Amino acid sequence: MKITDLLPASLVLPSLEGQTKEAVVQELADHLAAQRPEINAARLVEVLWERERLGSTAIGDGIAIPHGKLPGLSEVLGAFGRHPKGVDFQSLDGGPTHLFFLLVAPEDSVGLHLKALARVSRLLKDRTFRARLLTAPDQAELYRIIREEDDRL
């Protein structure tokens, strides 16, 4: 599974504006739903919050991977967002979160969901890759960096 199979360039947001965990989740969900008519943004936010209540999806090093399963989907979908200032996402290391990779999977797709999470985690654990994402000037360069790293792994 390639990240670029589930993340088109149009779902890369170089400058998230939300100042809270709730606002960032809403912003990512709204953007994904605006491009995928089969997704209801309000329902997606509910699904993401159900998962967040189990524990923060901010894993440290400035990374969060909000995710969940949504009935009615036929494939795993992703959205990526960068927050230049960072927000408090209740990260495991207590630091601000800058890089957000939202994943949503069909309700009955345990294997695909876990593969996508593992792939994103593997990509984002590389410190140099994260630094490149933080300094990329725009959406096109962010997507190019993601695609390049995705092809390398």
**pLDDT tens per residue, range 98-151:** 999 999 999 988 788 899 999 999 999 999 999 999 999 999 999 999 999 999
pLDDT of residue 58: 96
Q: Which domains does the chain have, with CATH numbers?
A: 3-152 (3.40.930.10)
Give me the helix-helix angle, 41-52 and 21-35, nearest 10°: 140
Residue 83 appears among annotated catalytic residues: no
Cα 38–Cα 101–Cα 70 angle in degrees, nearest 5:
30
Catalytic: which of 67, 83, 98, 113?
67
Digit-coded pLDDT (tens) for 68-92 = 999 989 999 999 999 999 999 999 8
pLDDT of residue 30: 97
pLDDT of residue 1: 83
Burial of 104 (0-12, 13-18, 19+ CB in 10 A): buried
Q: Look-up: residue for tokens 């990374």?
A: 63
Statement: residue 153 has pLDDT above 90: no
pLDDT of residue 108: 87
